[in-house]
Amino acid sequence: MAIFLDETTKVVYQGLTGSTGRYYGNLNREYGTNIVGGTHPKKAGTDVDGMPIFASVADAKAETGCNASCVFVPPPAVKGAVMEAAEAGMELVVVITEGVPAHDEAWFYNKLITDYPGTRLLGPNCPGIIGPGKANIGITAGHIAKAGGPVGVVSRSGTLTYQAVYELKEKDIGVTTSVGIGGDPVPGTNFIDCLAAFEADPETEAIMMIGEIGGSAEEEAAEYIKANVTKPVVSYIAGVTAPPGKKMGHAGAIVSGGKGTAKAKMEALEDAGVKVGLNPTEAGDLMAEIVKTL
């Protein structure tokens, strides 16, 4: 079992008519994701490489019964796209788009929590989610993950997610689900949501958590692990050597006022019983040792 999606998840792509949406829509379809089509308010009735275009997410749902959406629209349109998907009753909304204003994110995060509790938002600025062998929603290269578990992966960084699942595959270790929560200040789904889902998922027997400097999400996750997670957790935190006050690409990745350092995060995690690797390879080795004992 994968968390948040499976082979029956029916996905509509908002932004399928754009070049990026089309490229990854095709890759996701080849992977086996159940794609029902895309949306565009003015292109209903046309198709993108055989994938039908609907005027709206609501229309797509009425026609196909889709229950998830993947958003590739440009930053100014993301707020509208997320709300359109939520209003249409999508259970999972995956926003790949990078560069969404923080105030928009904070707004639709709170709007969804209050008015659309049945909708799970993943992202923005995330690589998406992959249940190896089942479905791939987003921009992860599907072949880098081995199917079948027993490891669940959750990460704040796109490319480090790939690195992590790839390190596992090199060691012949499979992944139940790999979730990229994204590096923005207000991620729709956070570490704790994923830890809780992995803890509840019978196929997931160990958890790999990839964090980075900035904010306090890793510290909060450590608290949660201490109190609620019985499965072994391995972690890696990027940015051990990042200088304070310099924003490292992600909106969230900054050490400021002595807060958000990798050291503090690693200590909090170790204190919660998590095995912490100093680089992705070491984290992979630590996980391999754990998997041997399962």
Partner 1 sequence: MDLFEYQGKQFFAEYGMPVSPGKIAFSVDEAVAAAEELGTPVMVKAQVHTGGRGKAGGVKFAATVDDVREHANNILGLDIKGHIVKRVWIEKASDIAEEYYASFTLDRSAKKHLGMLSKEGGVEIETVAEENPDAIAKIWVDPVVGLSEADVRGWIAAANLPEAAVEGSVDILQKLYTAYVEGDADMVEINPLILTPEGVVHVLDAKVTLDGNSEFRHPDYEQYDATQTRDEREAAAHAKGLQYVGLDGSVGVIANGAGLAMSTLDVVNQVGGKPANFLDIGGGANADVMAGALEVINNDPNVKSIFINIFGGITRGEEVAEGIIEAMKRVKIDSPIVIRLDGTNAQQGRDMLEPHLGDALMMEPTMLSAAEKAVSLVAG
Q: Which residues bind partner 1 (CB under 8 A)?
A: 20, 24, 75-76, 98-103, 106-107, 109-111, 114, 127, 139-141, 144, 155-163, 166, 183, 185-186, 210, 212-213, 215-217, 220, 236, 238-243, 246-253, 257, 278-281
- 9 and 67 Cβ atoms separated by less than 8 Å: yes
- Alpha-carbon gap, residue 60 to 52, rounded angstroms: 9
How many angstroms separate the first and last alpha carbons of the chain? 18
Nearest distance from C-beta of residue 191 to partner 1, angstroms? 12
Nearest distance from C-beta of residue 279 to partner 1, angstroms? 5
* C-alpha dihedral sign at 239, 244, 247, 251: positive
Shorter beta-carbon distance to partner 1: residue 1 or 103: 103
Q: CB neighbours of 289 closer than 8 A, spacing ≥ 6?
A: none
Nearest distance from C-beta of residue 246 to partner 1, angstroms? 5
Q: Is 250 among the residues known to form the active site?
A: yes
Nearest distance from C-beta of residue 114 to partner 1, angstroms? 7
Shorter beta-carbon distance to partner 1: residue 60 or 238: 238
Shorter beta-carbon distance to partner 1: residue 38 or 138: 138
Scored b (16 or more CB within 10 A) or e, 148-161 reads ebbbbbbbbbbebb
Q: Give me the half-sphere count of Cα atoms (radius 13 Å) on the Cβ side of residue 27.
A: 15
- Do β-strands 10-14 and 51-54 pair in parallel, antiparallel, or remain unpaired? unpaired
Shorter beta-carbon distance to partner 1: residue 147 or 248: 248
Give the pair of three-digit tokens for residue 99.
């560069």
Shorter beta-carbon distance to partner 1: residue 241 or 293: 241
Q: Of the residues 40, 103, 143, 250, which is catalytic?
A: 250
Nearest distance from C-beta of residue 242 to partner 1, angstroms? 6
- Do β-strands 68-71 and 10-14 pair in parallel, antiparallel, or remain unpaired? parallel
- Alpha-carbon gap, residue 153 to 195, rounded angstroms: 9
Scored b (16 or more CB within 10 A) or e, 249-275 reads ebbbbbbeeeebbbebbbebbeebebb
108 alpha-carbon distance from chain centroid: 17
Provide the phi-psi class of 22: left if phi over 0, else alpha when psi is between -120 and 50, else beta. Answer: alpha
Give the pair of three-digit tokens for residue 165.
């699942």
Nearest distance from C-beta of residue 282 to partner 1, angstroms? 9
Shorter beta-carbon distance to partner 1: residue 44 or 240: 240
Residues with catalytic roles = 250
